[in-house]
Amino acid sequence: MKSNSNSKLIVGIGSALVDILAHEDEAFLAKTGAVKGGMLLVNKEFIEDTLSQTTAKPTIVPGGSACNTIVGVGKLGGDARFVGKCGKGKMGRFFKSSLEKHNVEPALFTSFSPTGRVLSIITPDAQRSMFTYLGASSETLPTELSDGCFRNAAIVHIEGYLVFNTDLILAALRTAKEAGARVSLDLASFTIVKESKKLLERMISEYVDILIANEDEALALTGYEEEMDAIAALSAKAEISILKIGNRGSIIAHGDKIIKIRPMGDGHAVDTTGAGDLWASGFLFGLVNGYSLERCGQLGSACGYEVCQVVGATIPEDGWQRIKKLIV
């Protein structure tokens, strides 16, 4: 296998989606049939119908788990590339231009299908429950993942949502390794883990170097609810394992070493959309730049905190300036 040890390029592959963010109460959420804090696949008509019942105008921003992470890397000044597929229309053009604006190299395939979108219902407790229409994002073919997609990558970051396209995620894992990259996998959602546990366990064992999970995802994968039991089980599965524990911070495991990262701020959140994605931005950026694991975790914590202070997964410039003070 080739090695890209001198590279600092982080490549993300995942669903090219547009995020639609709506603040609603618990009663509205219950009426939709959502899984609280989870994700359900739906058709475009379901999203349109649900949007017609919202009480306020939603916020629309580029999104998708791996995309959010890679945009964060770009905003930190890192070398970033995103691989995905979007539609040829207005939303697809919006998606591509947004990547370029945030210092991310677009490696986008296009389709005549509509660009995918996610409707996130944000309840007063700052939890977001998602309805996803994959659209064009689900049409990426394994054969389209040429070596060029991952060329010179130090890390290829893969979102767990890709397990819905088994052939694609397996091709991405193989191609990343053949390109000499380390593989980072974010488990994405506890519903994903529950539905695809056997496949995920096989993929992690064969390909994954960096495993990222929150408490619900770790419980679904390992069966452990207590955080130290969960991180111990995760650490046996990958070279570096991360357990995100919300406003209590995070835990990083590497070999026999366990590092606890304190949360930033007071734990208050306006919206948790993108919190885990942006945590990964800071951590992976630190990793390719040779930071200690503790410092990587602190940078991840700062990114996760700042994105929780706004609606959506886009940190404003003043937030990025506070984060960058940790880099110098």
Q: Any idea which of 74-78, 266-270, 300-304 has the lowest mean pLDDT?
A: 266-270
| Position 1 pLDDT exceeds 50 | no
- pLDDT average, residue stretch 143-161: 93
- pLDDT average, residue stretch 303-323: 91
pLDDT tens track for 154-196: 999 999 999 989 999 999 999 999 999 999 999 988 989 999 9
The CATH-assigned architecture of domain 9-324 is: 3-Layer(aba) Sandwich (3.40)
| Position 247 pLDDT exceeds 90 | no
| Position 70 pLDDT exceeds 60 | yes
For the chain, give the mean pLDDT: 92
CB distance 87 to 136 below 8 Å: yes
CB distance 142 to 109 below 8 Å: no
pLDDT tens track for 22-49: 999 999 999 999 888 888 989 999 999 9
pLDDT score recorded for residue 117:
92
Domain extents for the chain? Answer: 9-324
Q: What is the pTM of this model?
A: 0.89
pLDDT tens track for 83-111: 999 999 998 998 999 999 999 999 999 99
pLDDT score recorded for residue 5:
65
pLDDT score recorded for residue 328:
67
Share of the chain above pLDDT 90, in %: 76
**C-alpha span between 177 and 184 (Å, rounded):** 11
Share of the chain above pLDDT 70, in %: 98
